[in-house]
Each structure stands twice: as structure tokens, then as C-alpha cells.
Amino acid sequence: MSQADASKRSVLGRTLSGALLSAASLALVVYSASAEPFVSFQWSEFALNVGLGLVIFLLFASWGVACVRSLRKAPRRSLGSVLLGACVLWTAVNLFYLGSTIYGYGQDMTNPRLRALR
């Protein structure tokens, strides 16, 4: 396998994994937004919002690091470097919303105003 083939496979793998992570992130954020406010503690909601949210957060962070490492190796002013720069921004957006989802669940569980609904 030549160097160009390996590079294309790497870019394809990074693109597919980014799309999969984006879909999982979107599904979790939309679910959490539709289910709020979380009034009572349930293990299933905790596992979904905090557990799965943290796993997706960490996977997205490592995906972003892989993009940055590839960006450092890419030639300047090429289409690849522009796309990798966009990947880094997309990672930041997703990490913000995933972090908000995890933090928001914790805030709902400790919110004294919601105790009357429990």
C-alpha cells in the first residue's frame, strides 16, 4: 500500500468516525433538551446523560486531537488543512453542547426549585 492510499484511508476513517460521533452527539443533546427538566433521579437517565455523554465527550476530544495532529502534518494552504481546521471548530461546538448536557443534568438534580415537583 502506498503512502497516498494510507493517507486517503486515514482521512476516510477520520471523516466516518467524525460523522458517527456527530450523529451520536446530536441525538443525545436533542433527547436531553426534550426531556428537561429532569425532576427525579433515574439510573437510566443518569447513565444516558452523564455516562454516555462523557464517553462521547472523550471520544470527540480524542477525535479533535487527531485532527490537530493531522493539521500539523498537512501542507499549508491546502484543502486538507482547511477541512481539518473546520473539524477542530466542529469539535469545539460539539464539546460545548455535550458539556452543557452533562452539566445541565447535574444542575437539574441539585436545583432547589425543582424539589417541589419531586
Give 45-80 pLDDT, tens digit per residue: 999 999 999 999 999 999 999 888 877 776 766 676
Q: Rounded CA gap, 92 and 83, in Å?
A: 14
Average of per-residue pLDDT values in the chain: 85
The residue among 29, 47, 23 whose CA lies nearest residue 101 is 29
- Res. 6 pLDDT band, cuts 50 70 90: low
Predicted confidence at residue 114, as pLDDT, reads 73
Residue 11 within any structural domain of the chain: no
Residue 79 within any structural domain of the chain: yes
Residue 37 within any structural domain of the chain: no
Amino acid sitting at position 63: W
Residue 105 within any structural domain of the chain: yes
Q: Rounded CA gap, 107 and 85, in Å?
A: 33
Residue 118 within any structural domain of the chain: no
For 14, residues 6+ apart whose C-beta sits below 8 A from its C-beta are 63, 66, 67, 70, 87
Amino acid sitting at position 74: A
- Res. 91 pLDDT band, cuts 50 70 90: very high
Name the residue range of residue 81's domain: 19-30+42-112
The more confidently predicted of residues 80 and 37 is 37
Residue 114: count other Cβ atoms within 10 Å of its Cβ. Answer: 15
Predicted confidence at residue 3, as pLDDT, reads 64
Residue 6 within any structural domain of the chain: no
Residue 64 within any structural domain of the chain: yes
Number of domains in the chain: 1
Share of the chain above pLDDT 90, in %: 48
